[in-house]
Structure 1
């Protein structure tokens, strides 16, 4: 009986989840229990199965939210390839450098004033978070993803997102162990944004090289 309820509820909830945009939150467990008359254990079992399939992400103490299934699957497959070929984080950062240089140059051509406002806002948030490596790292990633969005090419955003998914934890440890790196990285962020705004391709290339060389130097130690 419980298995039947679980399967039935799974089909109903999957339809409900498809109507929620990526990033949107699911109703709380208490709400789902009241809405469908199922036990909390069954609700949790169904949500856990969705999380294992990459449809939702369960955040302890905050509930569940919808994630981009395509991105999840791509990241998982990429992780398998990387593990099989014993790819290092240094290799991934080198690829990111090549890709992000193109993002910076495309941003120079396509960024709007609205894009610049978003980027400046994220730089301000990073300025205010330099005493908190975890929060700084969060805004740092958002800044680079926002730059990818300015290209108006979803493939850049998709690839940058997945490369950050693969290196996020390791790069957070770098900023945690080397807090001084946040200061230099922040100067580089500001310089890159200014060079993009001024359509200064030469300066973009110079700063991008410095920005990623700093990371690669630490990784090589």
Structure 2
């Protein structure tokens, strides 16, 4: 153990606690490397290592020439650790469908109780974007946004984060589903049923519509139902957009738009998407 080891751990623990509990508020600038080194009896390279670890975890951002600032928490931050674990476990469409039925049927029930007019407006925009989409990837972007918005309209932060943790896997699942005309023909009309039930505050109808929607793939996936989603997603992305497309980048752009001002939702519509 080096001389710096214990004080370095103290600094890491101190900063992590301050950031996660809000003692240092988002947007605030951290003390300089020099001041932190003096306060904790560390070398500046050791302080730099701690800052780098916090940056890699998405807790701070470093702006050259200006300093280190506390990042606002975002939906993107919540999905990475668990999603990586799911991928290591080689999650299949069957497993994702079962998990989605458990989570999203209850999200639909809660959304029917708690959705605001702003929530309903955002959901209608996403269905419009879905209908206008010119290809499978555009449809999947609008589709995942629609389901994330329902999870948010539920007004249950734990349920929302649980769904966000499988958002990447769900998007991959959607790529496979939306490439199948039979699944689109049978599954897409449920979107309108779900939204209508939520708008009517009909919790049981919302639950049934969501369960019916999520169950369609079970009847049509065949052997794909038990294949790893990564394999299916890479196959569909390569077929649709060529090699080298970043799935993570697509998901992050959706979540970033949903985390931004209401007008950012327009970035998910086909005529105004980012290129």
Partner residue of 1:213 out of 199, 212, 215 = 215
Superposed CA offset, 1:173-202 (max 9, x none): 331x31343343331000111011222233
Cα distance, 1:214 vs. partner?
A: 0.8
2:104 is equivalent to residue 92 of structure 1: no
- Alignment of structure 1 residues 35-46 onto 2, 5 Å: none
Report if aligned partners of 1:75, 1:165 keep a CA contact under 8 Å in 2. Answer: no
Report if aligned partners of 2:105, 2:208 keep a CA contact under 8 Å in 1. Answer: no
Distance in 1 between the 2:168 and 2:80 partners?
A: 7
Superposed CA offset, 1:85-121 (max 9, x none): x543311221111100010000011011111111111
Superposed CA offset, 1:55-76 (max 9, x none): 79xxxxxxxxx89688557533
Change (3 A) 1:195 1:75: same
Number of the residue aligned with 2:238: none
Report if aligned partners of 2:79, 2:161 keep a CA contact under 8 Å in 1. Answer: no
Number of the residue aligned with 1:14: none
Report if aligned partners of 2:78, 2:161 keep a CA contact under 8 Å in 1. Answer: no
Partner residue of 2:150 out of 147, 153, 159 = 147
Number of the residue aligned with 2:262: none
Number of the residue aligned with 2:166: 163
Distance in 2 between the 1:105 and 1:181 partners?
A: 24
Structure 1: gaps (5+ residues):
1-17, 21-48, 57-65
The answer to which structure, 1 or 2, has the higher relative contact order (CA under 8 A, 6+ apart) is: 2
Partner residue of 1:80 out of 72, 78, 85 = 85
Report if aligned partners of 2:78, 2:164 keep a CA contact under 8 Å in 1. Answer: no
- Alignment of structure 1 residues 158-197 onto 2, 5 Å: 158-175=161-178, 177-197=179-199
Partner residue of 1:113 out of 106, 114, 117 = 117
The total of aligned residue pairs comes to 167
Cα distance, 1:136 vs. partner?
A: 0.6
Change (3 A) 1:216 1:52: farther
TM-score for the superposition, normalised by structure 2: 0.51
Distance in 2 between the 1:218 and 1:52 partners?
A: 41
**4+ aligned runs moved over 4 Å, structure 1:** 49-56, 66-74
